[in-house]
Amino acid sequence: MQSEITDHKSHVAPPLLERRLGPLDAAAIIVSNVIGGGILFTPPQIAASVPSALPFLSTWVAGGLLAFSGAMAYAELAALRPRAGGEYVYLREAFGRFAAYLTGWTSFVAGFSGAIATSAVVLAFYLGRFVPAAGNSTPFFTLPIIPGTLALTFSPQTVTAIAAIAAMALIHIRGVGPGRIVGDVLASLKVLAFVLFVAFGFAIGEGRMANLSESAPVPPSGWLLALIPVMFTYSGWNAASYVAEEIRNPGRNVPRAFALGTGAVIVLYVLLNSLYLFVLPVAALGKVQGSVLDVIADRLLGSTAGNIMGVVSIVSLLASISAMTFAGPRVYFAMARDKVFFRRASSIHARYRTPAVSIVAQSIWSALLVLSAKADALVNYTGFAIVLFSGIAVVALFVLRARELNAERPFRAWGYPVAPAIYAITSAAILINGLYRDPGPTGAGALIILAGIPLYLLFRRRG
């Protein structure tokens, strides 16, 4: 009798999330997930690596085309496997659970949690323009964890950042409905603000169109190295894949979401960087410290720039935190469902039908990163991991095409096999060039990824 009960339990269907999202909801998650702090801070870094206007703009066009190629590959994979978890699911199906676990581990440690922590701290900084206490970094007290190496710093700024993380977590725990509404509104406001800023800048701003046509030779290796921060700034185009289990009619709506969301981001990024060059020559852009958007706004708007861009930045950062709070926990939920993460993370809230434990876990880790001031380092060190795992996920498309010849595919990637092959090859070239030209951060990122192996072995033993 006991064996029959055990056998019955082993065949119980895994918990599933409810399909309540449409294509515009998923596209809004992509837009909010992509357009965050990256576009405020990476353009000067890229301009320093590619000190020529046309090659500088070409990195953004190339990065956008690569992102779109990757998005179309993910669209086919998500339509084929419409489950929560994104590339975790695709790597598991093509290469096994260990490869899948490594991408999920990296998402938890840095990819989502680190990005949330960084965005929350910057959010507190911008709130400080209107409520000075919110941006005050003077500590209330410091709690040493490892003397001289690691400490938790409690200050008005870190408390404000954690409050923002907690507020978004609460919204998304309370249901897909509230999370969807908040995400859609913030994404719409974000896009509207940037479109108006670009239009205003070109219409009445003081600048030179000649700045956009400057060209000088750039070494191919330098151009490739610049693609790492470009791809990091585009990262998040795959956000719809994480919530595929909650999208209605995924075979039709997931590809639409990818096309709409990624296409909108590409257009906006190229326009923003063109505006940057319109106002500042590429050499001057490469020397900007801090947020380039603030510098451009100061040139265009004068004394009122700080407050206007403060509001724009606050809305943008809130939208990013909301999108990452929505998408990230679906990865850990999928991992826990496969017994390679903490078991309770696979539970679904009985009333709100959300992966509440996964949302709380991500928020707690993000808060600890805020207090330890380690989020920036983690994000910088694992920037290459975004390229690595997205490249491997695109390769999974070829594996599943060959392995499942007769599987029903509601959507087939545009440009297959050329476009996904270019994405995979370019990703490999970016990684190899990064290891050669800048091995320190890349090596540190590899160590962070590998640090998850002992935990994987523990989960597998328990599972």
Can you identify the CATH homologous superfamily of domain 16-407+416-462?
Answer: Amino acid/polyamine transporter I (1.20.1740.10)
Residue partners of 334: CB distance under 8 A and separation at least 6: 83, 84, 85, 88, 89, 104
Number of neighbours of residue 284 by Cβ within 10 angstroms: 15
Under-70 pLDDT residues of the chain: 1-14, 303, 379-382, 463
DSSP codes, 221-263: HHHHHHHHHHHHHHTTTTHHHHTGGGBSSHHHHHHHHHHHHHH
The pLDDT value given to residue 185: 94
Residue with tokens 């509404």: 181
Q: Which SS3 state, helix, strand or coil, does residue 146 take?
A: strand
The pLDDT value given to residue 458: 92
The pLDDT value given to residue 90: 96
Predicted TM-score (pTM) above 0.85:
yes
Of all residues in the chain, what percent are helix, strand and coil, respectively (each to 5)?
75, 5, 20
Q: Is the dihedral of CA 96, 99, 105, 108 positive or negative?
A: negative
Pick from 255, 243, 257, 455: nearest CA to 328: 243
Q: In the chain, where are the structural domains located?
A: 16-407+416-462
The pLDDT value given to residue 16: 79
Alpha carbon distance 450, 199 (integer Å): 46
The pLDDT value given to residue 28: 94
